[in-house]
């Protein structure tokens, strides 16, 4: 009886562990021995050839790119199911499994290399059969070992050369026009209705004896839109100080509050009324998007400002605030660089600074030659983009696709 139990136990142990071992080894290595059932004849794929390894270009190091020509058995219904990439630091030593790619793929990037270490690679073409998720058999054919290869960081990302050229062109255009402006050349800037109406809005608030509300958006000082909005605040605050009208700036970020305080204080000094400045004019509300919107809505409804400015980065809260402002009949001027929010502001506000107009405001309002020069440089870049679009449309229409390829940033 005891002997029977021992035998039964032994067979159960052998069977279960045999299965487990076969399963584990089939996942990590690739020989005909690592199978559960019998491997059918003539299923081993032909090895891959032309395996090439090289340092992954245009990166910060730590990556090697492996290319290979597909096995001739790699076709639909062929003998290749996947390719497994193996790596070692010694061609005669052990190779570790890095991962696999499906059949039809001839490239793999090893993103886990250490710079200046020599690596060797081989690619295994794998054929296997599974049933109900269980591996029945697996065979593989290893390529020749290639290497050594080392990864390293590059000093320039050549995939971004087009962006570099574009940036240089824009910067150069801006520099040239700044120099022209400094030399005293008169630069024409078209009228921007939204900025022309700043005086009108402040004047109206003065006449009505009500306050001005200035909302600088919900992003922090690391956003250019916020910087642009804060820049306009200086001008609005100065006019408000001259007219002796109360301007209130509720902010959504602490750093914006600190900056806005400084700007409003300076504006009051410039207007010759430093004593009229009150610390509480600029205050913090909350970092929370809808909490901020709720607080602004509450202020609008309770205090009924005569003029409201929305200048900066806005998201879903834009319409909530602008419609509330519209409902009390305030004159509203908005400006944002968020294309998705512009329609809401256009629908609800009296004037809207669309896109680049927000960023042009500083130059437009101050009329400082160097700032105006940068605007003209920006226009030149825009003209260049316009010409590129027209040339691109014509060339694409005639089937010449190289031109548009230049504008593509590889890897983005």
Partner 1 sequence: MRREIPLIITAVVGFVYVIQYFIPHYPFNNLNGWFSDWFSIIGACAIWLGALNLMRISFDKVYKKRRDWGYSIIIILSFALIVVIGFGGGRDFRDLGTNFDWLYRFIYTPLSATMFALLAFFVASASYRAFRARNLEASLLLVAAFFVMIGRVPVGDALVTKVAGLISLPIPDAVLPSKIATWIMNYINAAGQRAIMIGIALGIVSTSLRVILGIERAHLGGE
| Three-state DSSP class for residue 399 | coil
Q: How far is the CB of 296 from partner 1 (least distance, A)?
A: 11
Residues 6+ apart with CB under 8 A from 18: none
Phi, psi of 284 (to 5 degrees): -90, 145
- DSSP E strand stretches across 291-388: 307-311, 331-336, 351-354
Return the number of the residue (6 or 172) whose C-beta is nearest partner 1. 172
Cis omega (within 30 of 0) for bond into 54: no
Q: At what angle do helices 289-303 and 317-327 cross, to 10 degrees?
A: 0
Q: How far is the CB of 99 from partner 1 (least distance, A)?
A: 23
Return the number of the residue (82 or 376) whose C-beta is nearest partner 1. 376
Return the number of the residue (242 or 323) whose C-beta is nearest partner 1. 323
Q: How far is the CB of 85 from partner 1 (least distance, A)?
A: 24
Helix extents (H) in 342-368:
342-348, 356-366
R_g over Cα of the chain:
34
As separate numbers, helices (DSSP H) first and strands (DSSP E) second, the chain gives 12, 14
For residues 84 and 180, the answer to whether their CB atoms sit within 8 Å is no
Q: Which residue has the tokens 């003065």?
A: 206
Return the number of the residue (200 or 266) whose C-beta is nearest partner 1. 266
* Residue 104 zone, left/alpha/beta (φ > 0; ψ -120 to 50; rest): left
Q: How far is the CB of 42 from partner 1 (least distance, A)?
A: 48
Q: How far is the CB of 119 from partner 1 (least distance, A)?
A: 20
Return the number of the residue (70 or 358) whose C-beta is nearest partner 1. 358
Q: How far is the CB of 47 from partner 1 (least distance, A)?
A: 35
Return the number of the residue (96 or 303) whose C-beta is nearest partner 1. 303
Query: Rounded CA gap, 81 and 279, in Å?
Result: 71
Return the number of the residue (4 or 191) whose C-beta is nearest partner 1. 191
Q: How far is the CB of 113 from partner 1 (least distance, A)?
A: 15
Query: Rounded CA gap, 229 and 217, in Å?
Result: 8
């Amino acid at each position: 009886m005891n002997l029977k139990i021992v035998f039964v136990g032994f067979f159960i142990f052998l069977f279960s562990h045999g299965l487990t071992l076969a399963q584990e080894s089939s996942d990590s290595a690739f020989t005909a021995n690592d199978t559960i059932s019998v491997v059918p004849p003539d299923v081993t794929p032909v090895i891959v050839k032309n395996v090439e390894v090289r340092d992954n270009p245009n990166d910060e190091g730590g990556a090697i790119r492996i290319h290979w020509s597909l096995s001739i058995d790699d076709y639909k219904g062929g003998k290749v199911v996947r390719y497994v990439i193996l790596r070692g630091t010694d061609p005669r030593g052990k190779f570790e499994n890095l991962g696999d790619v499906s059949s039809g793929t001839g490239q793999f990037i090893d993103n886990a290399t250490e710079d200046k270490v020599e690596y060797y690679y081989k690619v295994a073409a794998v054929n296997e059969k599974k049933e109900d998720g269980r591996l029945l058999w697996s065979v593989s054919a290893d390529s020749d070992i290639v290497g050594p290869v080392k990864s390293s960081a590059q000093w320039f990302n050549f995939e971004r050369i087009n962006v570099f050229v574009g940036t240089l062109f824009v910067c150069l255009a801006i520099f040239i026009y700044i120099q022209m402006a400094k030399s005293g050349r008169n630069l024409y800037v078209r009228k921007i209705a939204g900025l022309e109406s700043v005086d009108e809005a402040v004047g109206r608030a003065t006449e009505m004896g009500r306050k001005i509300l200035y909302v600088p958006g919900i992003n922090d000082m690391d956003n250019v839109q916020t910087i642009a909005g804060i820049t306009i605040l200086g001008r609005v605050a100065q006019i408000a100080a001259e007219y002796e009208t109360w301007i209130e700036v509720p902010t959504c970020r602490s750093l914006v509050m600190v900056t806005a305080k400084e700007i409003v204080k300076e504006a009051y000094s410039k207007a010759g009324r430093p004593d009229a400045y009150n610390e509480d004019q600029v205050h913090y509300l909350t970092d929370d998007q809808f909490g901020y919107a709720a607080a602004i809505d509450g202020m609008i409804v309770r205090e009924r400002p005569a003029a409201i400015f929305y200048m900066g980065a806005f998201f879903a809260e834009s319409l909530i605030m602008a419609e509330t402002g519209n409902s009390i009949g305030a004159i509203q001027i908005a400006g944002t660089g968020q294309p998705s929010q512009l329609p809401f502001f256009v629908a609800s506000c009296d004037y809207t600074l669309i896109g680049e107009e927000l960023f042009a405001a500083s130059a437009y309002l101050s009329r400082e030659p160097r700032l105006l020069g940068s605007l003209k440089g920006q226009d030149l870049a825009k003209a260049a983009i316009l010409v590129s679009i027209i040339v691109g449309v014509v060339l694409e229409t005639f089937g010449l696709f190289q031109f548009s390829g230049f504008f593509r940033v590889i890897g983005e």
